[in-house]
C-alpha cells in the first residue's frame, strides 16, 4: 500500500461531529476559547485536501454508563448544577442559565468530543494514527473538572484501550504539549506504572497543581515567552528520554496550540513553524517505531490556531506520517 492509499479510502481516521461546537446564547464569547474550533478546522481540511464530511469518522454521544467507568457518581451529579459547571467552563454568567441549557449548549458538545477521543483511540490501533478535532480535556480527573474541561477524555480513552484491547495495549504514553500542566490525567494515573506522562508546560500559569506533579515521568517547566529553539530542543531531549525509558503500545498526543505567540492564556512565544515542527517531531518519533499516535487538539485560544492546526496536518501528510500501518 502506498503512503497515500489511505487518503482514497471511504474514511480517514480523523474524528469530527457537527455536535462538537459549544453554544449558549452567545455567552461562549465570554471565554477566549474558540467554541467552534473543531468546525473551523474541519472546514479548512475539507478545502485544503478536497474532502467532505463523509470522509471523517463521527462519534455518538458518550453515555452516563460509559462516563462512570472513570467518573465518580458524585462528580457527574454535580454537573446538574449550573453554578458548578460555570466554574469548570470559566464563564460565570452560566450560573444564571437553567441547567438544561447548560447541558445542551456546553456539556453535550463536550460529551461528543469525549466520545471522539475514545473513537480516535480505537482507530489509531487500526490505522496507526488518528486525530480527534476536539478533546484533550487534560484538567479533568475522575472527581473534579476545571479549566474548560468537564470530562476526563484522556483517562477514558486509555482505560478503554486497556480494558477492550488488552492483548494489544498494555502500556500507554501521554505526550502533553498544551501550554498548561495536564493535572487531570496526572491525578488519575498517579502511581500507575503502565502510563508514562511527558508534560511540557508554562509553570507560571494555571493550574500550578503540585500534588499532580509526581506523576510526570519526564517534565519541563517552561518560563513565560519561551521561544522555538529552547522549546524544540527540550522536546527532543524529552522524547529521546521517554523512548529510552518506556515502551508504549499507544501514544496520546495532547497537541494544544495555546503555546503560540500571542495566545492570551498560554503566554509562550512559539511560532506557527514551531508548532508544525513540534507535531512532526512527535509523529515521526513514534510512527517510525510502529507505535500508534492519537492526536487531540486541546487548548488554543486564538482564531489563528485553526490555520496552524490544518497546516500541521497537511505537513504530516506531506512528510508521509499519516499513512496506514
Active-site residue, 139 included: yes
Please enumerate in sequence order all residues whose Cβ is within 8 A of that of 236, keeping only pairs 6 or more positions apart, or say none: 281
pLDDT in tens, the chain (325 residues): 344 456 555 689 999 999 999 986 665 565 556 778 999 999 999 999 999 999 999 999 999 999 999 999 999 999 999 999 999 998 888 898 999 999 999 999 999 999 999 999 999 999 999 999 999 999 999 999 999 999 999 999 999 999 999 999 999 999 999 999 999 999 999 999 999 999 999 999 999 999 999 999 999 999 999 999 999 999 999 999 999 999 999 999 999 999 999 999 999 999 999 999 999 999 999 999 999 999 999 999 898 999 999 999 999 999 999 988 7
Residue 15 host element (H or E): strand 14-15
**DSSP 8-state secondary structure symbol assigned to residue 303:** T
What is the value of pTM for the model shown?
0.96
User: What are the structural domains, with CATH classification, of the chain?
Assistant: 33-319 (3.40.800.20)
Place of cell 476545571: 146
CA atoms within 13 A on the CB side of 318: 12
Which among 138, 139, 180, 185 is annotated as catalytic?
Answer: 139
Q: CA angle, corner 32, sides to 179 and 298, nearest 5?
A: 40
- Kindly give the residue spans of alpha helices, DSSP state H, lying in 202-245: 228-245
Mapping DSSP to helix (H, G, I), strand (E, B) and coil, where does residue 85 land? helix
* Beta pairing partners, 197: 174
Amino acid at each position: 500500500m502506498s503512503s497515500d492509499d489511505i487518503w482514497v479510502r471511504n474514511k480517514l481516521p480523523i474524528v469530527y461531529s457537527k455536535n462538537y461546537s459549544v453554544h449558549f446564547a452567545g455567552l461562549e464569547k465570554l471565554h477566549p476559547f474558540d467554541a467552534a474550533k473543531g468546525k473551523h478546522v474541519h472546514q479548512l481540511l475539507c478545502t485544503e485536501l478536497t474532502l467532505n464530511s463523509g470522509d471523517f469518522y463521527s462519534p455518538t454521544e458518550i453515555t452516563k454508563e460509559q462516563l462512570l467507568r472513570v467518573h465518580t457518581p458524585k462528580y457527574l451529579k454535580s454537573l446538574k448544577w449550573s453554578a458548578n459547571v460555570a466554574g469548570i467552563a470559566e464563564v460565570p454568567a452560566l450560573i444564571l442559565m437553567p441547567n438544561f441549557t447548560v447541558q445542551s449548549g456546553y456539556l453535550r458538545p463536550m460529551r461528543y468530543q469525549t466520545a471522539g477521543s475514545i473513537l480516535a483511540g480505537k482507530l489509531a490501533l487500526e490505522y496507526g494514527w488518528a486525530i480527534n478535532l476536539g478533546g484533550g480535556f487534560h484538567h479533568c480527573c475522575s472527581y473534579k473538572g476545571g479549566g474548560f474541561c468537564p470530562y476526563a477524555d484522556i483517562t477514558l480513552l486509555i482505560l478503554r484501550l486497556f480494558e477492550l484491547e488488552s492483548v494489544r495495549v498494555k502500556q500507554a504514553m501521554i505526550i502533553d504539549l498544551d501550554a498548561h500542566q495536564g493535572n487531570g490525567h496526572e491525578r488519575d494515573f498517579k502511581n500507575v506504572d503502565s502510563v508514562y506522562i511527558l508534560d511540557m508546560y508554562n509553570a507560571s500559569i494555571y493550574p500550578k497543581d503540585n500534588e499532580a506533579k509526581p506523576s510526570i515521568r519526564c517534565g519541563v517547566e517552561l518560563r513565560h515567552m519561551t521561544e522555538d529553539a529552547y522549546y524544540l530542543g527540550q522536546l527532543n531531549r524529552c522524547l529521546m528520554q521517554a523512548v529510552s525509558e518506556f515502551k508504549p503500545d499507544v501514544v496520546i498526543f495532547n497537541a494544544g496550540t495555546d503555546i503560540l505567540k500571542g495566545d492570551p492564556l498560554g503566554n509562550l512565544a512559539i511560532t506557527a513553524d514551531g508548532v508544525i515542527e513540534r507535531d512532526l517531531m512527535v509523529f515521526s518519533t513514534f510512527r517510525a517505531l510502529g507505535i500508534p499516535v492519537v492526536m487531540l487538539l486541546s487548548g488554543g485560544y486564538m482564531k489563528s490556531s485553526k490555520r496552524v492546526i490544518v497546516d500541521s496536518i497537511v505537513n504530516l501528510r506531506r512528510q508521509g506520517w499519516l499513512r496506514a500501518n
